[in-house]
A and B are shown apart, each in its own frame.
Chain A
Amino acid sequence: MLQLNNVCKNYRTTEVETRALADISFEISAGEFVAIMGPSGCGKSTLLNILGLLDQPSSGSYRLAGEEVAKASEHKLTAIRRALIGFVFQSFNLIDDLTVAENVEVALIYRKDKSRRKQRIAEALERVGIAHRAKHRPQQLSGGQQQRVAIARALVSNPKLILADEPTGNLDTANGDAVMGYLTGAAKAGTTVIMVTHSLVHAAAAQRTIKLLDGHVVSETKL
């Protein structure tokens, strides 16, 4: 599915240069469920952003679905993101002005994928048990409900790859477990899932765990 080779990422501000990622290389095959762990500031989000084509590596190579994308154009990245990837964030990142259903729809409208749109949204909401709230606004929902909406949004387009950055970080145990359930389910159905987490329990649900420290991969454990 994807393959990183000596990926580095430097952040340059006016005074300091931070090396967020150093010589990262690994490979993830299709349908794998991978957890990424490490202390705060070690580069997890940076790695996920690069994997999700929201950012580009300073050097190194990144092959996604057989294509080299490390130096691809913004236009190309957008197109690939649109076609392949779904995201889940720690802070939900729903659009306040849109209803729950419209939020889910956001993942579809830019794919120019018009077929059965209404039905697919309804199905996705059904899957995460939030269909009865389709007309509500995010502000009217609890944190756990909001994250379900975010999951529904990530799932509705049937992406090949789901990237989840601490999806349970803001949730209580029960809601966190539910979210893990949906992600595991997606992985079982053949979607590649890469998830950042601080929870060993949730990491245990993955087939493989990559540990980061100061921008380096320090260990990989495979179940």
Chain B
Amino acid sequence: MIKNYFFVAIRNFIRHKLYSFIAVAGLAFGLACAILIGLYVQEELSFDAWLSDSQRIFRVDIVMHPQGLEPVNLGGSPIPLGESMAAELPGIAAQTHFTNQSYTVEVNHQRYWEWGVAVGHDFFNVIRLPLVEGDPAKVFEHPDAVVITQATARKYFGDVSPIGKTLLFDGNKARIVTGIVKDLPYNTQFSGNIFIPYQPPPPDAGSNMQVERDFERTSSWIRFPASTYVRLAPGVSQSSIEAQIPQLFARHISTATLASVASVVNRPIKDFISAKVVPLRDVHLTADYHHGMKPGNSLTTVYGLIAIALLILLIAGLNFTNLATARAFLRSREVGLRKAVGARRKQLVVQFLAESVLTATLALVFALATVELLLPAYGNFLGHEVVFDYVRNWRFSMIVVAGTVVVGLLGGIYPALVLSGFSPAAAFRPTAVNPTRSAALRTALVVIQFAISIGLGIAVIVMFAQIKYARQIDLGFNHDNMVMLSLYKSGLTPSAQESLMQTLSRSPDITGVALSSKAPADEGDELSFARALGNPQKLSVQTVSISPGFAAVYGMKLIAGRMLSADRITDRNQGQGIEDGKNVVVDESTARDLGFTPQSAVGKTVEMVFARVTIAGVVRNAHFQGAQAVATPRTVYYYNPDHVNRISIRVKGGSIPDALAVIDNTWRRYAQGTPIQRWFLGDRIDQLYANAERQGIMLSAFVVIAVLISCLGLFGLAAFTAERRTKEIAIRKIFGADSGEIIRLLLRQFTIPVLLANLIAWPVAYFYLQRWLEGYAYRIDLSLIYFFAAGLSALVIAWATVIVHALHVARKKPVAALRYE
């Protein structure tokens, strides 16, 4: 008898240990996931909030409203905007701006390419990036000053203090280091290693006509390269500032300038321009466009991650409830006995809730250990260090603890109520109470868990299918073995560029070379507008200057007409853009949207911002920004040897190292001392997809964990059920059921919840994924296959989880099972 009790005790202990392990492990995984997501989200939400006065600082972005077209967010502002705002609008306490630049910097006879920013005079007064040396108010007192980051200082000077040292910019401009910026953390929109004070360019010496000078002066108002920041005086609202900006533009853009862009702006300037005044702290997550800044993130991603964290916690919490409810019925005797000796229901509820919270706390300890283990890899994956400093990040620590307690309470409340509701008589009943109602609830909980897992699973499958699809789309140009060089600030004249191109193309390791103003995957737009003569419909288009061989080098197909030629005077532009009366080549979508077929487009006249041009040929669409981009590309190609920034070099696949050596040597001969800037186009194209791919990987990692936690719960439940049904199974076997029938019986019990879960998950997933896909210009159809794949996987995973128990029970000898009843 004692031996029997002992065995029962041991068996119960092991049984409870399994359940406790499952509840704790599931919740620990869930919490670890939520904490990792939380740390990421916290960082994304904290962008620039740490800068002093950040709540009073705003970024001013300009939006263009061409008639009959969607508004275009220019993602920038004119350089003089900030100063004019401060001078003319009330309530601007301070203003500054920056523009991105790159330059070569020479130190100790070494030249480096650097990304830098030219900033307004007051930059460090408005944007209080911490300076380790130098006075923010004085660093730019002298126009030849420069401020560098700690990392840059170390790179140039080692441990020697750089203050007062000279840096030679672009080989001709000496600047003296006056300040050092503390290395910037991840959570700021500002980047750049070098800060120089902005100086307006000297008036163009070549232009002596009054009209041209006038144009130069006011045309700075129709270019938008700057990021402008203002500090508003207390009590001044964003909207009041926004409202005054159109008038400001109207005052500054001269009629001459307006006339030259009349083809686009054929409406009052105040109807054409509007401003978005965005709080500094929101820029990272809301601005859709950032020239040269750290790539922004979207609120959708952040909210999506929060939702996933909550769903995972929900799954883990449901495990908790589920297993505790299942176990409750094993504890009916304990409850009965406690009640018989006088415990009140309230006391029991508190007891069970305390147990639950305690278990959750134990899970938290494991979760924190897991987080510590994973943080380095997580930081690696995200591309920046992530830390969880419990003390300094005490707010987050509090949220984590509070969240754990809430999960413990919510997960424990139902089982506590069920348990405490048992009557004292339960203690003396030979078998435990019949848990039909709670069995239905447990099934419902499993359904919810699997619905979440399946839904997330479908999302992952669709996301990867979309990424794969986007990567397979014919971009319309060939980027294999394409090596790119930047000609920016190389000092090469157009004829030297031409000669460099010819020299390179003579190498046997190089199959083609072309020049262009911009390369595929390059940042930045050359936006213009186009309108077919006699057709009021206006289009926004990208313009790219290319050398005549460009299309051939890139394998772009001509559909109608001819390519541009170096020999025809009307194909060749001078200056910086497109000249009046010249020929261009357009892509298919431009031809179509202008109202032509490719064939009928040839020979047609098109009105563009500064010129009327003629279409000489039509080429196939080329997706220079990858197939991720939302907008259909519309591109107008023109040939202007003066407007060239890139060389595209197609090298032979088998001899890349040789080709690179040829390129580097040739560059050295031509570019007297300017360091080479060279990259593989394929790498840049990959980067276009990197963000989406990273998000996909992140999502799938979390989905795997969600599924894992669901399965842990299912495993525990299956163990419980198998045990509870031992007697039933023995009886069925005695009356002739064979092992196969028993296994099927047990699997069926868990098949139905999974099938129900599919019923819930499919429509919800369909709804969200349909909307998600609408963000892609080139997208897959939501095929049922994705849904079946996720649903079937869930079923197979559920079966695999349950089958261990099923086999075990099915093989048991029935008499053995009934012996100890």
Contact = CB atoms under 8 A, between A and B. Distances in A.
Interface of A: 49, 52, 54-55, 74-75, 78-79, 81-83, 87, 89, 91, 93-98, 106-107, 110-111, 137, 139, 153
A138 B759 CA distance: 34
Interface centre among A54, A87, A139, by most chain B C-beta atoms within 10 angstroms, is A54
Most central of B431, B731, B736, B813 by chain A CB within 10 Å:
B736
24 contacts: A54-B734, A54-B813, A54-B814, A54-B815, A74-B739, A75-B738, A78-B733, A78-B736, A79-B736, A81-B736, A89-B818, A93-B731, A93-B821, A95-B727, A96-B431, A96-B434, A96-B728, A97-B728, A107-B735, A107-B736, A110-B736, A110-B737, A110-B741, A137-B434
Interface string B713-736: 000000000000001101111111
Given A54-B813, A110-B741, A87 B728 contact: no
B436 interface: yes
Interface string B197-212: 0000000000000000
Interface string B404-432: 00000000000000000000000000010
A82 B727 contact: no
Given A95-B731, A139-B431, 8 more contacts: A52-B734, A54-B813, A74-B738, A74-B739, A78-B733, A78-B737, A93-B734, A96-B434
A110 B736 CA distance: 6
Contacts of B736: 78-79, 81-83, 107, 110-111
Contacts of B731: 93-95, 106
Contacts, number: 61
Contacts of B734: 52, 54, 81, 87, 93
Interface string B220-236: 00000000000000000
Interface string B773-816: 00000000000000000000000000000000000000001110
Contacts of A137: 434
A87 B735 contact: yes
A98 B728 CA distance: 10
Contacts of A98: 728
A13 to B, nearest CB: 12
Contacts of B732: 95, 106, 110
B303 to A, nearest CB: 44
Nearest to A95: B728
B818 A93 contact: yes
Contacts of A106: 731-732, 735
A49 B815 contact: yes
Given A75-B738, A110-B741, A93 B733 contact: no
A55 B731 CA distance: 14
Contacts of A91: 818, 821
B815 A55 contact: yes
Interface string B728-764: 1011111111110100000000000000000000000
A110 B814 CA distance: 16
A100 to B, nearest CB: 14
Nearest to B439: A97
A139 B733 contact: no
Interface residues on B, range: 20 to 34
- Most B-side CB within 10 Å, residue of A55, A75, A81: A81
A99 B730 CA distance: 17
A216 to B, nearest CB: 21
Contacts of A78: 733, 736-738
Contacts of A96: 431, 434, 728
Chain B facing A: main interface SS: helix
Contacts of A49: 815
B428 to A, nearest CB: 15
Contacts of A74: 738-739
A116 B434 CA distance: 31
A65 B253 CA distance: 110
B435 to A, nearest CB: 10
Contacts of B818: 89, 91, 93
B425 to A, nearest CB: 13
Nearest to B432: A96
A82 B734 CA distance: 8
Contacts of B436: 97
List of 4 A-B pairs having minimum Cβ-Cβ separation, nearest first: A82-B736, A110-B736, A95-B728, A78-B738
B219 to A, nearest CB: 84
B422 to A, nearest CB: 15
Contacts of B727: 93, 95
B738 A55 contact: no
Contacts of B735: 81-82, 87, 106-107, 110, 153
Nearest to A97: B728
A110 B738 CA distance: 8
A103 to B, nearest CB: 9
Given A82-B736, A106-B731, A110-B736, A55 B813 contact: yes
A41 B741 CA distance: 33
Nearest to B732: A106
A217 B49 CA distance: 92
Interface string B448-491: 00000000000000000000000000000000000000000000
B325 to A, nearest CB: 17
A191 to B, nearest CB: 16
Nearest to B818: A93
A107 B731 CA distance: 9
Interface in B377-397: none
Contacts of A54: 734, 813-815
A3 B730 CA distance: 26
A153 B730 CA distance: 15
* Residue picked from B735, B739, B818, most chain A C-beta under 10 Å: B735
A204 to B, nearest CB: 28
A153 B736 CA distance: 13
Contacts of B821: 91, 93
B19 to A, nearest CB: 21
Interface in B317-348: none
B277 to A, nearest CB: 66
A96 to B, nearest CB: 6
A107 B727 CA distance: 15
A68 B776 CA distance: 73
A55 B821 CA distance: 18
A5 to B, nearest CB: 22
A74 B732 CA distance: 15
Contacts of B741: 110
A49 B816 CA distance: 11
Nearest to A110: B736
A86 B732 CA distance: 12
Contacts of B733: 78
Nearest to A98: B728
Contacts of A83: 736
A110 B745 CA distance: 12
Contacts of A82: 735-736
A87 B814 CA distance: 13
Contacts of A55: 813, 815
A72 B307 CA distance: 59
A143 B68 CA distance: 86
Contacts of A75: 738
A96 B797 CA distance: 29
A139 B730 CA distance: 18
Interface string B349-362: 00000000000000
A102 B739 CA distance: 20
A135 to B, nearest CB: 14
A27 B814 CA distance: 26
A139 B434 contact: yes
Contacts of A107: 735-736
A223 B434 CA distance: 46
Contacts of A95: 727-728, 731-732
Contacts of A93: 727, 730-731, 734, 818, 821
Nearest to B739: A74
Identify which of B431, B741, B818 gathers the most chain A CB atoms within 10 Å of its CB. Answer: B818
A98 to B, nearest CB: 8
